[in-house]
């Protein structure tokens, strides 16, 4: 992970319908890496009915991407559309400036190893707190993966 403590999220707030559960980024990282859920995460899973293993897979499934190409495309109208879609699932606490925050988190996540995970996006999110909509996070992963796939193979999509 390439980030600085001053520029990284400290807490992730999971929303699911009316439920909100706040966990620290280290707690979430431990869960993603080991499967061990803190008591706060266990409470969230129990009350939301979400399966821990599904959430864990969504957090850690890598998406391979060219960091330079990603940065260029994220600063285009096409990139803004994708950022707006991702912003429905991953948000700032104020509910604004998602594009800038997501753009920064995505670029930073891809810069180290040419891969992105949802966990890295959350770790690199440039606010102290990041809000994750539990209903939409899997869809956000799919949209991001489809977007990156189109970047990797633009001509292949013309003939589909």
pLDDT tens string 97-116: 689 999 999 999 999 899 99
Instruction: Please determine, for residue 6, whether its predicted confidence score (pLDDT) is greater than 70.
Output: no
Q: How far apart are CA 75 and CA 91, in angstroms?
A: 18
pLDDT at residue 97, as a whole number: 61
Which of 89-98, 125-134, 148-157 is predicted least confidently? 148-157
Instruction: Please determine, for residue 8, whether its predicted confidence score (pLDDT) is greater than 80.
Output: no
Please report, rounded to a whole number, the percentage of residues in the chain having pLDDT higher than 90.
Answer: 75
Tokens 């009316």 identify what position?
Answer: 18
pLDDT at residue 107, as a whole number: 95
Instruction: Please determine, for residue 2, whether its predicted confidence score (pLDDT) is greater than 50.
Output: no
Mean pLDDT value across the chain: 88
Is residue 137 within 8 A of residue 20, CB to CB? The reply is: no
Tokens 């559309």 identify what position?
Answer: 81
pTM of the model: 0.88
What is the pLDDT averaged over residues 140-149? 91
Length of the chain: 160
What is the pLDDT averaged over residues 53-75? 94
What is the pLDDT averaged over residues 66-93? 92
Please report, rounded to a whole number, the percentage of residues in the chain having pLDDT higher than 70.
Answer: 90
Residue 114, helix vs strand vs coil:
coil
pLDDT at residue 153, as a whole number: 74
């Amino acid at each position: 992970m390439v980030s600085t403590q001053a520029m990284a999220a400290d807490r992730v707030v999971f929303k699911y319908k009316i439920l909100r559960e706040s966990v620290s980024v280290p707690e979430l990282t431990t869960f993603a890496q080991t499967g061990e859920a803190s008591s706060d995460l266990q409470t969230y899973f129990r009350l939301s009915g979400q399966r821990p293993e599904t959430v864990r897979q969504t957090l850690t499934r890598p998406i391979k991407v060219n960091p330079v190409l990603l940065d260029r495309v994220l600063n285009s109208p096409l990139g803004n559309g994708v950022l707006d879609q991702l912003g429905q699932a991953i948000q700032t606490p104020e509910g604004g400036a998602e594009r800038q925050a997501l753009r920064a988190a995505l670029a930073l996540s891809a810069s180290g190893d040419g891969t992105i995970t949802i966990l890295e996006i959350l770790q690199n999110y440039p606010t102290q707190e990041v809000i994750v909509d539990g209903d939409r996070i899997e869809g956000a992963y799919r949209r991001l993966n489809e977007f990156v796939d189109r970047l990797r193979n633009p001509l292949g999509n013309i003939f589909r």
